[in-house]
Amino acid sequence: MKDLVVSKLRIWDSRSGAALVEDSSFTVKAGKCLAIVGESGSGKSLTCRAIMRLNKAGLRQSGDIWLGDIKLTALTEKEIRRIRGTKLCLILQNGMRAFDPSSTIGSSVRETLAWHYGWSRSEMIGKMAKAMTAVKLDDYLRILNSYPHQLSGGMLQRMMIALAIVLEPEVVIADEPTTALDTVSQFEVLQQFALLRERLGCTMVFVSHDLGCVKKLADEVLIMKNGVIVEKGAASDIFHAPRHDYTRYLVTAKTSVNQHFRRLMGGDSFVFH
Ligand SMILES: Nc1ncnc2c1ncn2[C@@H]1O[C@H](COP(=O)(O)OP(=O)(O)OP(=O)(O)O)[C@@H](O)[C@H]1O
């Protein structure tokens, strides 16, 4: 396992020249989970996509990104494509957009796995069945034969986690993977992320608006505002001794929402700490 190092990342719109992410530097130690938190439009997704080298053509980026001794920003398109999936895996907010809507889940998965590994069809199904059982997708044949629109958002997210289990990447980047889900599915998917980390020992970058999720998963937290990192540090410090006004605002806002909810529900048991 290797550290993921982002050094002086800058992203801008090549047409307008507008800076979207400015001088962003951070390290995710091997096996640790970094949460990126910030309001809408603060540059969280662009940062994740820059690591994957998946930002749109109209955007430019400078700065270096390393995974151990591999300089991701210097790889050719062919080389980075090999690394996506095997070493880096991106899990998106909307499972519907991750799978081809005109193919069954099984054929999308087979295509991804065949691209990376020379497994036979039965080997692939065997591995996926095991991984799907691990994320509580029990009726695996029915699910593999379904189209994305026939599955719920929570099932599609768990399907992506199952795929990550099979691909065993070194780094999992999850861009708001629970935002589009109802509260029960959010809780279940979050549990699966915790298990994924335990199982693979992978490094994780987890983008979330939800400080409850962040508290559950993250070792380190990075707070972004208007394309700039305003604070970074150990999760416990961010929650208990935030230094920046904006971080204090986020933490206080969460605490007051929780207190309000607690008063409404008449106790602690419903609050997601
Ligand atoms: N392809 C693009 N071309 C131009 N500007 C873009 C492009 N993609 C994103 N942006 C802009 O870059 C800024 C950061 O976007 P980004 O998607 O990283 O925000 P975010 O923090 O992930 O927000 P959210 O929580 O809403 O997903 C926003 O102002 C957005 O409008």
ipTM of predicted complex: 0.96
Global pTM value: 0.87
Ligand 1 and 18: CB distance under 6 A = no
Q: Cβ distance 84 to 28 under 8 Å?
A: no
Task: State residue 272's pLDDT score.
Answer: 41
Q: How many other CB atoms are there within 10 angstroms of residue 68's CB atom?
A: 13
Tokens of 137: 């997708």
Assigned domain for 118 exists: no
Assigned domain for 90 exists: yes
Ligand 1 and 122: CB distance under 6 A = no
Assigned domain for 175 exists: yes
Beta strands in 29-143 (DSSP E): 33-38, 59-67, 70-71, 88-91
Ligand 1 and 32: CB distance under 6 A = no
Ligand 1 and 240: CB distance under 6 A = no
Which one of 11, 45, 61, 209 would you pick to mutate in the ligand 1 pocket, going by the greatest count of ligand atoms within 8 A of its CB? 45
Tokens of 91: 């899990």
Task: State residue 117's pLDDT score.
Answer: 81
Q: Domain range for residue 221?
A: 4-100+170-257
DSSP state of 52: H
Ligand 1 and 13: CB distance under 6 A = yes
Q: Which CATH number belongs to the domain containing residue 224 in this structure?
A: 3.40.50.300
Q: Cβ distance 162 to 128 under 8 Å?
A: yes
Instruction: Say how far apart CA 273 and CA 243 lie, in whole Å.
Output: 21
Ligand 1 and 40: CB distance under 6 A = yes
Q: Please state the φ and ψ torsions of residue 32, each to the nearest 5 degrees.
A: -100, 165
What residues does 59 pair with on adjacent strands? 13
Task: State residue 235's pLDDT score.
Answer: 94
- Distance between alpha carbon 69 and the CA centroid of its chain, in Å? 22
**Rounded distance from Cα 43 to ligand 1 centre (Å):** 6
**Closest by CA position to 202, among listed 157, 164, 169, 160:** 169
Assigned domain for 270 exists: no
Assigned domain for 267 exists: no
Q: Cβ distance 134 to 169 under 8 Å?
A: no
Quote the number of domains for the chain: 1
Q: Please state the φ and ψ torsions of residue 183, each to the nearest 5 degrees.
A: -60, -40
Task: State residue 271's pLDDT score.
Answer: 42
- Nearest residue (by CA) to ligand 1, atom 12, is 20
Assigned domain for 112 exists: no
Residue-by-residue pLDDT tens, the chain, 273 positions: 789 999 999 999 999 999 999 999 999 999 999 999 998 899 999 999 999 999 988 999 999 999 999 999 999 999 999 899 889 999 888 777 788 899 999 999 988 888 778 788 888 889 999 899 888 888 999 999 999 999 998 889 889 889 888 988 999 999 988 877 788 778 888 888 888 888 889 999 999 888 888 988 999 999 999 999 999 999 999 999 999 998 988 888 765 555 555 555 555 544 443
Task: Tell me how far apart the terminal alpha carbons of the chain are, to the nearest angstrom.
Answer: 30
Q: What angle do CA 135, 101, 207 make, to 5 degrees?
A: 50
Q: Please state the φ and ψ torsions of residue 134, each to the nearest 5 degrees.
A: -65, -30
Ligand 1 and 45: CB distance under 6 A = yes
Q: What share of the chain is helix, strand, coil (3-state, %, to 5)?
A: 45, 25, 30
**Rounded distance from Cα 37 to ligand 1 centre (Å):** 14
Assigned domain for 177 exists: yes
Assigned domain for 17 exists: yes
Task: State residue 269's pLDDT score.
Answer: 46
